């Protein structure tokens, strides 16, 4: 990698509908923090941007279960998670919120720019409707059997068991989470982002970071970071299948309202996949405001000699290697200035499981970071996770392993050496 003036490190935004667990720490936040600390020790210009994803259906589902407002939910878990990260020593330069005014303004700015260019498509198609509840069902409000692995508790957007991205209509035996009734298909209109329009540009972007594809000419012009094999493989799978239009609006009351006076926009908000990744930009803008130089964010996002690195888990790969870059490509199209840099590297970790099973907030099968730090010091946890980091394959956290590393490697081996 060539010398860069500065590096912007972002970490995936956890949903503010529950506490972060050790799987989140291992897959995203600890490796990013170690990388940022290393850069700072070298005296390099680096900032670490993170925050809470506070829109989307998981928030409203939690609110409805507890009989409180979505704002109450996100306020609670944003506070809880930011405090847990602080206690664990995760050194964010800014930890933002997608419910903030700055973020709403940024997301609306992107929507209006892409809408002005005529890139979005409006399409009417059938979606699930719960006649008992009297409302359309977003993907997370539908559950059913996964058509790939037969998991009977798959969500309408993704199966937690096998990781397959789904649409609600692909589920077998679908049920509404609102009433447990079988939903019916009804027509509704939504805005769609045409990912296929950017397929060639995205293939060229991926080629720049694929060790098997990087050409000597391109590398001489600008050395690019080589992506991990898992990142390339996940991305290429989608590219080989061909990229399709993807909805960017939802029939919900909680989220960023469409900033246009159009009867068809009534009752619709931006789909969280479109708005959440823009949080990296809005949070950097807010960080710049707090430094006293509100234009400073441009140096990290729009200077060609700056570098963007997105730390994520493997279940977030395509959102960061295809969808977010496509949004930025749509913004950059036809512009002479204000052009955003695409990520140079997207380090995606494999999963850290918990004693042989996948961590799961929805099933409450997890060791939560905040609760852990109430009983054990952060440094012993950071060491144990770092030594078992799921860089190239899934790893496993167990209490026995944590005990052995703390007592044997830290207290005994390192302690005796000191």
Q: Which strands make up the sheet holding 306-313, listed edge to edge?
A: 94-97, 46-52, 6-11, 306-313, 348-349
251 contact partners, CB below 8 Å, separation of at least 6: 127, 135, 136, 138, 188, 267, 268
Q: 168-180, pLDDT tens digit by residue?
A: 999 999 999 888 8
Specify the pLDDT at position 411.
94
Q: Hunting for tokens 């997105």 — which residue is that?
A: 310
Q: Which of 139-143, 312-316, 387-391 has the lowest mean pLDDT?
A: 139-143
Burial level of 253, CB count in 10 A (0-12/13-18/19+)?
Answer: exposed
367 touches 151 (CB < 8 A): no
Model confidence at 362, in pLDDT bands (50, 70, 90)? low
Q: Is the pLDDT of residue 396 over 50?
A: yes
In this structure, what token pair is assigned to residue 187? Answer: 């027509």
Q: 191-224, pLDDT tens digit by residue?
A: 999 999 999 999 999 999 998 887 776 666 667 8
Specify the pLDDT at position 222.
64
In this structure, what token pair is assigned to residue 239? Answer: 């590219």
CB neighbours of residue 196 within 10 Å:
14
Q: Is the pLDDT of residue 233 over 60?
A: yes
Q: Is the pLDDT of residue 1 over 70?
A: no
Specify the pLDDT at position 4.
80
> Cα(first)–Cα(last) distance of the chain, in Å?
37
Q: 12-45, pLDDT tens digit by residue?
A: 999 999 999 999 999 999 999 999 999 999 999 9
How are beta strands 6-11 and 306-313 bridged, if at all?
Answer: parallel
Beta-carbon-side half-sphere exposure of residue 77 (alpha carbons within 13 Å): 27
Q: Is the pLDDT of residue 356 over 90?
A: no
Domains of the chain: 6-137+178-417 (3.40.50.620)
């Amino acid at each position: 990698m060539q010398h860069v003036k500065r590096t912007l490190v972002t970490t995936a935004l956890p949903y503010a509908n529950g506490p972060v667990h050790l799987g989140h720490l291992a897959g995203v936040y600890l490796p990013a923090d170690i990388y940022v600390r290393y850069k700072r020790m070298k005296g390099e210009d680096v900032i670490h941007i993170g925050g809470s994803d506070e829109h989307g259906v998981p928030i409203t589902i939690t609110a409805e279960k507890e009989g409180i407002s979505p704002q109450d939910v996100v306020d609670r878990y944003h506070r809880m998670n930011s405090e847990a990260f602080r206690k664990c020593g995760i050194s964010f330069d800014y930890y933002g919120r997608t419910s903030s005014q700055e973020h709403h303004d940024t997301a609306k700015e992107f929507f209006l720019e892409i809408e002005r260019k005529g890139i979005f498509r409006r399409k009417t198609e059938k979606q699930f409707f719960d006649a008992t509840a009297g409302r359309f069902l977003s993907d997370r409000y539908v559950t059913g059997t996964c058509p790939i692995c037969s998991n009977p508790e798959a969500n309408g957007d993704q199966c937690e068991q096998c990781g397959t991205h789904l649409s609600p209509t692909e589920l077998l035996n679908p049920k509404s989470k609102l009433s447990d009734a079988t939903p019916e298909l009804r027509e509704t209109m939504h805005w769609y982002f045409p990912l296929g329009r950017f397929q060639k540009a995205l293939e060229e972007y991926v080629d720049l970071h694929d060790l098997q594809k990087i050409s000597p000419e391109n590398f001489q012009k600008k050395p690019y970071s080589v992506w991990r094999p898992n990142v390339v493989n996940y991305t290429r799978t989608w590219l080989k299948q061909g990229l399709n239009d993807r909805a960017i609006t939802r029939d919900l009351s909680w989220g960023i309202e469409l900033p246009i006076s159009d009867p068809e926009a009534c009752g619709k908000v931006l789909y969280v996949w479109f708005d959440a990744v823009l949080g990296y930009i809005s949070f950097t803008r807010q960080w710049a405001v707090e430094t006293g130089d509100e234009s400073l964010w441009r140096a990290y996002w729009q200077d060609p000699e700056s570098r963007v690195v997105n730390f994520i888990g493997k279940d977030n790969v395509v959102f960061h290697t295809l969808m977010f870059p496509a949004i930025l490509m749509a913004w950059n199209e036809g512009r002479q200035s204000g052009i955003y840099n695409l990520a140079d590297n997207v380090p995606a970790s494999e999963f850290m499981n918990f004693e042989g099973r996948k961590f799961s907030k929805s099933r409450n099968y997890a060791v939560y970071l905040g609760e852990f730090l109430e009983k054990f010091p952060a440094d012993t946890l950071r060491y144990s996770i770092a030594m078992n980091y799921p860089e190239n394959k899934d790893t496993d956290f167990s209490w026995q392993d944590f005990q052995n590393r703390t007592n044997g490697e830290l207290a005994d081996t390192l302690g005796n050496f000191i």
